[in-house]
Amino acid sequence: MRGMLRGAVVSLLLCGAAGAETIAERDRAYLVSHLEMTREFVVDATAHLRKEQWLFQPGARRWSTAQCIDHLARTEEEVLRLVRERVLPSKEPLLGAFASMTKGRKAAETPPKRMGRREDSYIMRWMTDRTQVAGVPAERRPPIEEVAPRQTIADPQSALDHFLRARAETIAFVKATQEDLRGHFVQAPMEGVAEMPYTDAYQWMLRLSMHVERHLMQVHEVRRSAGYPGRR
| 49 phi, psi to nearest 5 deg | -70, 135
Those residues whose C-beta lies under 8 Å from the C-beta of residue 27, and which sit 6 or more positions away, are: 181, 182, 202
Question: Is the backbone of residue 227 left (phi > 0), alpha (psi -120 to 50) or beta?
Answer: left
Element (H, E) at 185: strand 185-187
Per-residue CA distances from 58 to 145, 190, 220, 221 (Å): 22, 28, 11, 9
Query: Domain map of the chain by residue range?
Result: 23-102+109-223
Instruction: Find the helix packing angle between 156-176 and 201-223, rounded to 10°.
Output: 160
3-state SS assignment for residue 111: coil
Find out whether 25 and 178 touch, Cβ atoms under 8 Å: no
Architecture of domain 23-102+109-223: Up-down Bundle (1.20)
pLDDT digits (tens, 9 = 90+) for 19-61: 468 999 999 999 999 999 999 999 999 999 999 999 999 988 8
At residue 138 the predicted structure's pLDDT band, cuts being 50, 70 and 90, is low
Per-residue CA distances from 94 to 21, 175, 180, 186 (Å): 20, 24, 16, 5
3-state SS assignment for residue 24: coil
Per-residue CA distances from 127 to 15, 64, 107, 217 (Å): 40, 20, 23, 11
At residue 143 the predicted structure's pLDDT band, cuts being 50, 70 and 90, is confident
The span from the CA of 187 to the CA of 109, in Å, is: 11
pLDDT digits (tens, 9 = 90+) for 170-227: 999 999 999 999 999 999 888 888 889 999 999 999 999 999 999 999 999 999 999 9
The span from the CA of 180 to the CA of 174, in Å, is: 11
At residue 109 the predicted structure's pLDDT band, cuts being 50, 70 and 90, is confident
pTM given for the model:
0.87
